[in-house]
């Protein structure tokens, strides 16, 4: 069976990490299933700019809007006033509302904590709302003054003339679809718990509402599969909630008690990077942004311009994106083979220079050689 995967090479280290990663993803499938990947390239970034005069051609957006599975390397944000980040444009145009990051530890990597192996979580971060909506007014501008006057006069709010203002819109529908997807994942993968992470003690009607909407989804839509912490039922996913600041302590002190996290945009952003650091850095982290129709896998690092074209980049994030994608396509055994092959390369201490810097006694190899080693470990 053929599965079409649209791919975007990306800028900077994009071409070299793809060259190293794609053969690993294809090889993981052979012997494991009758699925064959059909890779179709779409243009974006510098390559698209050179070929079409636009960094994000209409054709690419049109194809992605109809696609089921896609994967991308890093895209640089073009330098110059008024140009939006291509990543943000892709997320908003395609309504990629759930940013999903699995975080796990690979044995051998130096970590700042004593037991990084206790971290094994999947973060579902809402991707479209919250303070990321981009509704902001600079201090002392006519727009800001107008808003301050309205808030004072019409709403009776005490607010300084000096204030800059940003808005934090959060809706029931966007919060619920995020929690629904996270809970479906926890149930399908038979994971013990889902934690709603919010700052509802302070922001009652946005973050507090997120918490309540999350519990509503669990009670109304997963009545047979979920339960609460107060009334646990064996075999069901426990839905609990934690206030964001306490959660940062929890993931350091008791990470084994957390499995799936569902969070509004800003908390999820902070927590994803903090957890990645806890297990030894961002370099290996895969991610996926999802709409209801498209799963768009992406290397979570940027274009790493200072090492681009030097065969130094770590292709691990794209390789592990491949594992996530194969899981999504229904071939979990092939995904597990990839993860085991990466783990073996790391424990053999033959790694790219970014990882070598975190593994005492490691030998440094280039991007292409690391891909070959992982491929041979499959
Ligand atoms: P970056 O992730 O490119 O680099 C941060 C540090 O990590 C650098 O020291 C870099 O050399 C290293 N690094 C990153 N990827 C690596 C890899 N695969 N192997 C080894 N080392 C690696 O972040 P930075 O410098 O802030 O951004 C550079 C460009 O990338 C910008 O134009 C930014 O907009 C874009 N970017 C794109 C992202 C995406 O497409 N998802 C995400 C983050 C940044």
How far is it, in rounded angstroms, from Cα 283 to Cα 313? 9
The model's confidence at residue 78, banded by pLDDT at 50, 70 and 90, is: low
Q: What pLDDT does 97 receive?
A: 97
Per the rule left: phi > 0, alpha: psi between -120 and 50, beta: everything else, 46 is alpha
Q: Dump pLDDT digits (tens) for 147-198.
A: 999 999 999 999 999 999 999 999 999 999 999 999 999 999 999 999 999 9
Asked if 321 contacts 17 with a C-beta cutoff of 8 angstroms, the reply is no
Contacts of range 30-36, beta carbons closer than 8 Å, 24 or more positions apart: 32/331, 32/333, 32/334, 32/337, 33/331, 33/333, 33/334, 34/1, 35/1, 35/2, 35/3, 35/329, 35/330, 35/331, 36/1, 36/2, 36/3
Q: Is 168 exposed, middle or buried (0-12, 13-18, 19+ CB in 10 A)?
A: middle
CA-nearest residue, atom 12 of ligand 1: 304
The model's confidence at residue 282, banded by pLDDT at 50, 70 and 90, is: low
> In ligand 1, which atom is closest to the CA atom of 86?
40
Q: What pLDDT does 280 receive?
A: 81
Q: What pLDDT does 349 receive?
A: 94
Our mutation pick for probing the ligand 1 site, out of 303, 352, 371, counting the most ligand atoms within 8 A of Cβ, is 303
How many angstroms separate the alpha carbon of residue 364 from the centre of ligand 1?
20
Residues annotated catalytic, as ranges: 132, 199, 245, 269
Q: What is the mean pLDDT of the chain?
A: 94
Q: What pLDDT does 188 receive?
A: 94
The model's confidence at residue 1, banded by pLDDT at 50, 70 and 90, is: confident
The model's confidence at residue 85, banded by pLDDT at 50, 70 and 90, is: confident
> In ligand 1, which atom is closest to the CA atom of 74?
40
3-class DSSP state of 258: coil
CA-nearest residue, atom 26 of ligand 1: 302
Our mutation pick for probing the ligand 1 site, out of 12, 90, 301, 362, counting the most ligand atoms within 8 A of Cβ, is 301
How far is it, in rounded angstroms, from Cα 144 to Cα 167? 12
Q: What pLDDT does 216 receive?
A: 98
Asked if 366 contacts 311 with a C-beta cutoff of 8 angstroms, the reply is yes
CA-nearest residue, atom 33 of ligand 1: 76
Alpha helices in the chain (DSSP H): 14-29, 46-52, 58-66, 86-93, 142-155, 172-188, 207-221, 244-253, 265-278, 316-328, 332-347, 353-356, 367-377
CA-nearest residue, atom 11 of ligand 1: 304
Q: Does pLDDT of 88 surpass 90?
A: no
How many angstroms separate the alpha carbon of residue 305 from the centre of ligand 1?
7
3-class DSSP state of 148: helix
Which residues, listed in sequence order, are joined to residue 295 by a DSSP beta bridge?
69, 290
> Quick one: tokens of 155?
């709403």
> Phi/psi at 206 (nearest 5 deg)?
-105, -70
How far is it, in rounded angstroms, from Cα 87 to Cα 219? 35
How many angstroms separate the alpha carbon of residue 15 from the centre of ligand 1?
14
Residue list, ligand 1 pocket, CB within 6 Å: 13, 17, 74-77, 87, 283, 298, 301-307, 313-314, 354
How many angstroms separate the alpha carbon of residue 220 from the centre of ligand 1?
42
Quickly count: other Cβ atoms within 10 Å of residue 362's Cβ. 19
Q: What residue has token string 């975080």?
A: 103
């Amino acid at each position: 069976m053929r599965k079409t995967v649209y791919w975007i090479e990306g800028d900077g280290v994009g071409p070299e990490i793809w060259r190293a990663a794609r053969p690993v993803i294809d090889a993981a499938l052979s012997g494991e299933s009758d699925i064959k990947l059909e890779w179709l390239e779409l243009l974006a970034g510098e390559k698209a700019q050179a070929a079409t005069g636009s960094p994000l051609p209409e054709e690419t957006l049109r194809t992605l809007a109809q696609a089921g599975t896609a994967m991308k390397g890093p895209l640089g944000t073009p330098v110059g006033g008024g140009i939006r980040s291509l990543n943000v444009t892709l997320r908003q145009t395609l309504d990629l509302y759930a940013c999903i990051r699995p975080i796990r530890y690979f044995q051998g990597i130096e970590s700042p904590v004593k037991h990084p192996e206790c971290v094994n979580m999947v973060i579902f971060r809402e991707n479209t709302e919250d303070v990321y909506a981009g509704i902001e007014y600079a201090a002392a501008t006519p727009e800001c003054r107008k808003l301050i006057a309205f808030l004072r006069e019409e709403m009776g709010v005490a607010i300084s003339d000096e204030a800059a203002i940003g808005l934090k819109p959060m809706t029931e529908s966007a919060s619920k679809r995020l929690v629904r997807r996270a809970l479906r994942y926890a149930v399908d993968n038979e994971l013990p718990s889902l934690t709603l992470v919010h700052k509802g003690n302070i922001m009652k009607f946005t973050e507090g509402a997120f918490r309540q909407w999350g519990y509503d989804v669990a009670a109304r839509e997963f009545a047979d599969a979920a339960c609460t912490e107060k009334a646990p039922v064996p075999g069901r996913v426990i839905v609990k909630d934690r206030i964001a600041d306490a959660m940062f302590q929890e993931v350091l002190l008791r990470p084994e008690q957390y499995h799936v996290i569902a969070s509004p945009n800003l908390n999820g952003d902070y927590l994803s990077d903090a957890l990645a650091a806890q297990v030894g850095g961002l370099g290996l982290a895969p991610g996926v942004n999802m709409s209801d129709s498209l799963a768009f896998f992406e290397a979570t690092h940027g274009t790493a311009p200072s090492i681009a074209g030097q065969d130094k980049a770590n292709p691990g994030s794209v390789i592990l994106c491949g594992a996530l994608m194969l899981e999504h396509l229904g071939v979990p055994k092939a995904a597990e083979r990839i993860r085991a092959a990466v783990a073996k390369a790391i424990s053999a201490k033959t790694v790219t220079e970014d990882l070598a810097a975190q593994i005492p006694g490691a030998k440094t190899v280039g991007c292409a050689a690391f891909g070959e080693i992982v491929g041979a470990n499959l």
